[in-house]
């Protein structure tokens, strides 16, 4: 089902990182793209560069989200927006847990609820969910983040059941470490924090880039209509999910 079969796309978190890269790729492929994000200024910058139609809305506000996208005919939905936090559940703040559930999980469900019926009616559509290796493998990180990404993994599988018999494809993109702003935002989002994050997590590493993710999505969508690429793990060559800790106590 090549891009010529599709007319429109909606990308969440389109103002930066993977969302901006995917938006740019889609517009180059001739799609009308609607970009959703809270930050209207950054969204406008991407819109000016790509021709994307900006929809500045907080995806955690379900009523506002439904009003913004409910009347659109969307052929490709990319659930990309996500938030994370440092630490783990032992020192988690209520607001950070709620934010991860609301952005990473609840908004994904509602966007599928709002837009998938139209795809089913038209017998055409593709849902791309950005999850994380944190949803498939356990390692040290924020428990709520791991939990929400594991849920996105299951949603991606379940959507194909919901749409069985229709020409609806669902692809889960499961990245390892990608060069985005997420670590810098976790450290406070200041220029100093962004520099610290770069030096700590990216400098000297061969990380995945946002273009790599956009290229992977392009490959999945460009596959023939009878082919559904359900789960694609995208990791740096030098990053592996592995290891098993076993703590010995002497008390």
Q: Distance between CA atoms of 15 and 41, rounded to whole angstroms?
A: 9
Instruction: Report the 10 Å Cβ neighbour count for 104.
Output: 25
- For residue 46, how many other CB atoms are within 10 A of its CB? 25
145 an active-site residue? yes
Number of H helices and number of E strands within the chain? 9, 7
Place of tokens 């498939």: 136
Q: Which residues partner with 56 through β-bridges?
A: 37
Helices in 8-61 by DSSP H: which ranges? 17-28, 40-50
User: Given 137, 145, 202, 205, which residue is catalytic?
Assistant: 145
Q: What is the DSSP string of 53-94?
A: EEEE--TT-HHHHHHHHTT---SEEEE------SS-GGG--H
Give catalytic residues, as residue numbers: 145
């Amino acid at each position: 089902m090549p891009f010529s079969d599709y007319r429109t796309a909606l990308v969440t978190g389109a103002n930066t990182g993977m969302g901006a890269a995917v938006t740019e790729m889609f517009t180059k492929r001739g799609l009308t793209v609607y970009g959703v994000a809270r930050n209207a200024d950054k969204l406008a910058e991407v819109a000016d560069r790509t021709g994307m139609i900006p929809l500045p809305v907080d995806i955690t506000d379900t009523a506002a989200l439904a009003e913004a996208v409910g009347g659109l005919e969307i052929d490709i939905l990319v659930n990309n927006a996500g938030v994370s936090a440092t630490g783990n559940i032992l020192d988690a703040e209520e607001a950070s847990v709620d934010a991860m559930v609301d952005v990473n999980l609840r908004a994904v469900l509602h966007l599928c609820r709002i837009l998938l019926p139209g795809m089913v009616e038209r017998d055409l559509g593709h849902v791309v969910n950005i999850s994380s290796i944190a949803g498939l493998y356990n390692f040290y990180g924020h428990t709520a983040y791991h939990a929400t990404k594991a849920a996105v993994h299951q949603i991606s599988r379940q959507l194909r059941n919901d749409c069985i018999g229709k020409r609806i494809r669902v692809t889960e993109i499961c990245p390892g470490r990608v060069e985005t702003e997420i670590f810098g935002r976790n450290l406070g989002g200041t220029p100093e924090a962004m520099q610290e994050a770069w030096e700590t997590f990216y400098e000297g590493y061969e990380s995945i880039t946002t273009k790599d993710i956009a290229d992977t999505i392009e490959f999945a969508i460009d596959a023939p209509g009878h082919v559904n690429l359900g789960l694609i793990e995208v990791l740096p060559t030098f990053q592996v999910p592995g290891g098993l800790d076993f703590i010995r106590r002497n008390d």
